[in-house]
Amino acid sequence: MSDLGHVLVLAGGLSYEREVSLRSGRRVSEVLRSAGIDVETRDTDASLVPSVLADPPDAVFVTLHGGAGEDGAIRSILELLHVPYVGAGPDTCRVAFDKPSAKAVVRSVGLLTPDSVTLPKETFHDLGASAVLTRIVEHLGLPLFVKPARGGSALGASAVRTAEELPAAMVGCFAYGDTALIERYIEGVEVSVSVIDLGDGPVALPAVEIVPDKGVYDYAARYTAGHTEFFAPARLSAEAAAACAEMAVTAHTALGLRDLSRTDLIVDAQGRPHFLEVNVAPGMTETSLLPMAAEAAGQDLGTLCRGLLEIAAARTA
């Protein structure tokens, strides 16, 4: 049995990714119990603060995706309650959760990331959608990839192959957020690299290669078993795999993250990785990438999560 007495897993929330978060929370709770941890799973509702004050946990594992789970808000509350938790602090979460800001940080340390334009909905409408989109296509070229500047699970994200597809992609994006990130689409192998720090510095787990059956890693492809084929480790050359690992660790460090993160990349035909985005609360469901990477590395997920909680518990919140 672990020295951890009482552990709280936060799951649910009110973001568009609530159902995924609940699945992540259930999985983490199950593997922690199998590792000998006393686990309580709670949603983020009005009963949370009184409950924590009445029975403070030794540490919290945050499995909230999107919104308050990744933008630092819930972590700010945990710090007000003096409760230690797994993952990055509020300030770093705010930067990492905002994709244009994260891209700017990693570009500043020399990492490749696709050229892009960030466009708030108000600007899109006020300046005339048609004229603005024409300039974007002229500047970035085609194909493009459109996604909300904040959020995850590929909600509101779509590939754009022709200029005629761009207006609909923008409308779909704005359904999930007020700001769109329009990137140059990089053709290549889609991979995800999880980073874990158990006290000896951040280490990259094996890259996971993502091959969706319909060619697009959308919400259904992410969370419906059988819709995507995964290869862990990814089918990359040794040089490309090492470059992906280095990029993920560099992004983790440059953004000031801690404990765990997951970086999504595209590896082009020359074997060069391109940074797409980073996730400060990686999914933990049966089809999520960090658990696959841990298995590929020969690590037990329950033992890994327990180790992260023990490190968190040893910190001063």
- Binding residue positions for Mg(2+): 264, 277, 279
DSSP state of 204: E
Specify which residues 261 forms β-bridges with: 195
Tokens of 273: 């990785």
Q: Is 79 among the residues known to form the active site?
A: no
Q: Provide the H-helix boundaries in the chain.
A: 18-34, 48-54, 73-80, 90-97, 99-108, 121-126, 129-140, 166-174, 219-223, 238-254, 289-296, 301-314
Q: Which one of 15, 153, 158, 261 is the catalytic residue? A: 153
Find where tokens 């801690």 sit. Answer: 258
Q: Please, are residues 45 and 75 in contact by the beta-carbon 8 Å criterion?
A: no
DSSP codes, 46-68: TTHHHHHHHS--SEEEE---SGG
Q: Which one of 15, 17, 194, 310 is the catalytic residue? A: 17
Q: Is 209 among the residues known to form the active site?
A: no
Specify binding-site residues. Answer: 264, 277, 279
Residues 6+ apart with CB under 8 A from 148: 155, 156, 157, 173, 176, 177, 179, 180, 181
Q: Which one of 29, 70, 288, 310 is the catalytic residue? A: 288
Taking Cα atoms as reference points, which of 75, 54, 76 lies closest to residue 64? 75
Q: What is the torsional sign of CA 241, 221, 202, 299?
A: negative
Give catalytic residue positions.
17, 153, 288
